Structure 1
Amino acid sequence: LHQRSIITSTPFKFLVGHERKLLTVHAALIAHHSKPLGVLVRGPMLEANQGFAVLEDIEEGTFIRFSQYAYTGDYSTPAPGTSGDGATTNDATNGAANGIANGGGMSDESGLMSPTSGEYSATITAADLKMYVPAPPPFKPRKNRDATEDYTDIFLCHARLYVFAEKYDIAPLKRLALYKLQRTLVDFTLYPERVADVVELIKYSYTNTADMVGTPDDLRVLVIRYTGYVVEDLAQNPQFTALLEEVSQVGRDLMRQMLKRLE
């Protein structure tokens, strides 16, 4: 898409979220990235004639990150929140990393995670990246440093952007959001105090994606594979056990994942 066609196109207004925050993006850029949104801003629909659309079900931060991606090909990640008294527990585990180090390599037919015999940082190969994100922008997620750092918003920013991209048919953004979430989970140290962060990610992923037969949703695949590697850390958490009762598909898919590991 030529820069001139972007700049000369009409800015389109979006009223986003429950508070209907006004955000503006060039119409040509919207249409270039998303056919459904392109119809909204340039097609025969009422919104195109009015010059604005209401996206009440989209979180403001998600749309801002989509706008960043539309203009630059990348998006920013929020800083971690803070909670607790600052104490750091010695029981922290990087569950996925430990699974790899103990010989439980993550096999992955779709390229989300790959087998490895050593360091977890080597789980994504150059070939995987070409298949997964053809030319990913440089991304080195910040590692959490202690149990007070809340990563809920960080996890959810990637998951929400994936769901947004799925809804509006933006396949490259879906792949990028999955890639960033995967890299973030790889480097995440799961302190007992931070189990709730992971539970929120699982819950969001399963309540905002379709339960498909045959070809499971990619976000669910990534999240449940990670869950399988940290299940021992999650098992005694009341929020996780409540989630298993509330969303039956989580327990079903987790059981399948555990059986694959046994094989």
Structure 2
Amino acid sequence: MPASFQEILNSSVIKFVVGEGADGEATDFLVHKEAMAQLSEPFRDMLNGESTAESVTWRNVGKSSFERLAQFAYTGDYTVPKPLRRRGAVDRQEAVENEASPDILDRGLAVEEDSAPAPGDTPAEDEPPMPVVEYSEYVEQDSPGWWPAAKPAPRVPSPDQYISKKKAKRMERFASRIAQEELQPEPVPEPISPIPVLFELDDPRDKHKDDCEPSKQFDPKGNYSNVFRSHAELWIIASSYGIDSLMALSLYKLRQTLIVFRINDQTVSDLVDLVHYVYNPHMESLEDERQRGLVAQYMACNSATLSSDGNFMALLREGGSFVEDFLKIVMKRF
């Protein structure tokens, strides 16, 4: 059972020194010991083993990764970073894509030519109005020729017929109104609260919820290497200390990011960086292969597109565990 907020707040603080190997400089963080210890039993055992020391040193854990780990420890979720700005190639590509092609220009010219009036045409508003056709007042008689027909006199209802029709319509409207009133339920009065509403709850209760959700839109100008690595590094930390909830969350966010990711000449390098990090030889000691399996599966599903990229082919020539996992998945498809 996770610790309550009061238990976390009243626990002692412990210092983590992180990032000297990953970032080139060390950063100190003071966090509540119970917030970190509640993550898993192996993590609690590690902190208890460091109880006599003044701090815990993680050289190969980056500053940003530890910040997300601490955020997860306190809140149960972590912020997803934004893709870094990719310069140059994407801007040029978008400029080419936004140019109008000759085919589009030809179609536009053809539409304009078709819409232009011919020399002999006259606008619709200048045409004379069509003559109004009157019904003929002439009927064919028995005698030769056409003769004007006498217009029949309008029928005038008798006083008794007029009163009976008027009364019938009035009774019909009355019956219809009674039926509608019977069908409509009586309005239920709103309950009156003895406590007045002093303010509206406009602000969200979780102010960082949107920042924690992976984006559902692909940013063509973004470099996703940092986004991929943020999820992958958290998964490795969670796997090392048996933090199952963080393993599931980080793997889910990595998968959601890969779903919206689009492969082109500029973005293949982001995937190559992800493979290099996940299949780092230093990670061979991890028993859980789910993250590697996800990455290998994604690369195999997109092998037809990736095969035309030089960076990906160079990755295959490196060999190693990734190539083995990749080929196993690809060969099963044949």
Q: TM-score with structure 2 length normalisation?
A: 0.59
Q: How does 1:146-157 map to 2 (within 5 A)?
A: 146=220, 148-157=221-230
Pair 1:241 & 2:313 matched: yes
Q: How many residues align?
A: 211
User: Partner amino acid for 2:256?
Assistant: R
Distance 2:288 2:69 in 1: 24
* Residue from 37, 41, 60 that aligns with 1:35: 41
Secondary structure class of the residue paired with 1:192? coil
The structure-2 alpha-carbon separation of the partners of 1:234 and 1:14, relative to structure 1 and needing over 3 Å to count, comes to: same
* Residue from 169, 188, 194 that aligns with 2:261: 188
Q: Which runs of 5+ in 2 are unaligned?
A: 98-210
Distance 1:142 1:87 in 2: 24
Pair 1:168 & 2:241 matched: yes
Cα drift, residue 236 of structure 1: 3.2
* Residue from 293, 296, 300 that aligns with 1:228: 300
Secondary structure class of the residue paired with 1:87? helix
Cα drift, residue 202 of structure 1: 1.1
Cα drift, residue 140 of structure 1: 4.2
Q: Percent identity?
A: 28
Distance 1:233 1:216 in 2: 29
Moved over 6 A (4+): none
The corresponding residue for 1:8 is 10
The corresponding residue for 2:166 is none
* Residue from 58, 61, 65 that aligns with 1:58: 61
Cα drift, residue 71 of structure 1: 0.7
Distance 2:75 2:53 in 1: 27
2:272 touches 2:311 (CA, 8 Å); kept in 1? Answer: yes
Secondary structure class of the residue paired with 1:178? helix
* Residue from 92, 99, 103 that aligns with 1:87: 92
Cα drift, residue 142 of structure 1: 4.3
1:71-119 Cα offsets, whole Å, 9 max, x none, are: 111001111111232133699xxxxxxxxxxxxxxxxxxxxxxxxxxxx
Pair 1:75 & 2:78 matched: yes
Secondary structure class of the residue paired with 2:217? coil
The corresponding residue for 1:25 is 31
1:210 touches 1:217 (CA, 8 Å); kept in 2? Answer: no
The corresponding residue for 1:202 is 275
Cα drift, residue 247 of structure 1: 4.1
1:62 touches 1:157 (CA, 8 Å); kept in 2? Answer: yes
2:80 touches 2:214 (CA, 8 Å); kept in 1? Answer: no
Secondary structure class of the residue paired with 2:42? helix
- Alpha-carbon RMSD: 2.3
The structure-2 alpha-carbon separation of the partners of 1:245 and 1:144, relative to structure 1 and needing over 3 Å to count, comes to: same
Q: How does 1:136-147 map to 2 (within 5 A)?
A: 139-146=213-220
Secondary structure class of the residue paired with 1:33? coil
The structure-2 alpha-carbon separation of the partners of 1:241 and 1:174, relative to structure 1 and needing over 3 Å to count, comes to: same
Secondary structure class of the residue paired with 2:266? helix
The structure-2 alpha-carbon separation of the partners of 1:183 and 1:227, relative to structure 1 and needing over 3 Å to count, comes to: same
Q: TM-score with structure 1 length normalisation?
A: 0.73
The corresponding residue for 1:261 is 333
Distance 1:31 1:223 in 2: 30
The structure-2 alpha-carbon separation of the partners of 1:244 and 1:40, relative to structure 1 and needing over 3 Å to count, comes to: same
1:9 touches 1:27 (CA, 8 Å); kept in 2? Answer: yes
User: Partner amino acid for 1:20?
Assistant: A
2:83 touches 2:227 (CA, 8 Å); kept in 1? Answer: yes
The structure-2 alpha-carbon separation of the partners of 1:76 and 1:169, relative to structure 1 and needing over 3 Å to count, comes to: same
Secondary structure class of the residue paired with 1:190? coil
Cα drift, residue 5 of structure 1: 0.9
Q: Which runs of 5+ in 1 are unaligned?
A: 92-136
1:128-154 Cα offsets, whole Å, 9 max, x none, are: xxxxxxxxx9834242232x3101000
- Structure of higher CA gyration radius: 2
Cα drift, residue 38 of structure 1: 1.7
Q: How does 1:211-226 map to 2 (within 5 A)?
A: 217-226=289-298
Secondary structure class of the residue paired with 1:251? helix
1:192 touches 1:233 (CA, 8 Å); kept in 2? Answer: no
Secondary structure class of the residue paired with 1:22? strand
